Amino acid sequence: MDKLISLQQVHKTYKIKGGLVRALNGVDFEVEQGEFVALVGPSGSGKSTLINMITGIDRPTDGEVHVAGQRLTHMNEDQVAGWRGKNVGVVFQFFQLLPSLTVVENVIMPMTYAGTYKNGRRERAMELLDLVDLADIADKYPSQISGGQQQRAAIARALANDPPLIVGDEPTGNLDSVSSGLMFSLFEDLVAQGKTMVMVTHDKDLAGKAPRIQEVRDGRLLGGAEINRRLVGNGAGR
């Protein structure tokens, strides 16, 4: 299988008042096309920074980042933004749907920014809303639907430009256990269809269902044996 994500000796240091903080410390991380990876670890371990490297939201202090055929460390901000719009779909914990737009308009928005599906954006959006069982509430506003429905709408929006990579940043963090299970099943279906999924989660039960678990701790990735010891002793992500 082809590697969709390849991080090589990635370091990230932030300057703060009084000194420096090492968020990532020589991370090597590879994900093959079609993999489903759950990232776990305590708060402040470097998970969010790692996600920001993968999505191009942030740049490493040192090291190389290759994602979906591009060397992100050698692209400017405009180039990265254009690349991200077509290659990465991000699902956030707090949904981040625009309240002034209807559900279907929220799904159309990424297509407008990326200049895709020019002659059939609403049709594309409705197909995706049907995929997540929301076609019947397409013209409602986010405030008129439940949290679980909002998260499904956010997934439809993330799929708008048919990206090869889906990144979930605590995507089930604000959902009840039933809704969380439904979200995870949807992610599994997307992977079965050929998408690659990288999901940050503190939910040990969900993490345990993922085919691959990768723990981040103190800015580095733990190996398989270390992960197993911690999961047995403490539970994933706790």
Task: Read off the pLDDT of residues 163-212 as tens digits, 9 standing for 90 and up.
Answer: 999 999 888 887 888 888 888 999 999 999 999 999 999 888 889 999 99
pLDDT at 230 over 80: no
The position carrying tokens 């998260």 is 151
Q: Which CATH superfamily is domain 33-58+76-234 in?
A: P-loop containing nucleotide triphosphate hydrolases (3.40.50.300)
Which residue, among 165, 193, 200, has the nearest Cα to 68 in the 3D structure?
Answer: 165
pLDDT at 54 over 80: yes
Query: What does the pLDDT read at residue 203?
Result: 84
pLDDT at 26 over 70: yes
The position carrying tokens 């990288």 is 198
Give me the phi and psi of 232, to 5 degrees please. -65, -40
Query: What does the pLDDT read at residue 226?
Result: 47
pLDDT at 110 over 80: yes
pLDDT at 50 over 90: yes
Q: Which residues contact 233 (CB under 8 A, 6 or more apart)?
A: none
**What's the chain's average pLDDT?**
90
Token digits for 24? 């990532």
CA atoms of 36 and 54, how far apart (whole Å): 15
Token digits for 169? 């940043």
Which residue, among 102, 236, 76, 235, has the nearest Cα to 156 in the 3D structure?
Answer: 102
- Residue 170 DSSP label: S
Locate all alpha helices (DSSP H) within 56-203, ordered by sequence.
77-87, 103-114, 121-131, 147-158, 177-192
Q: What is the pTM of this model?
A: 0.87
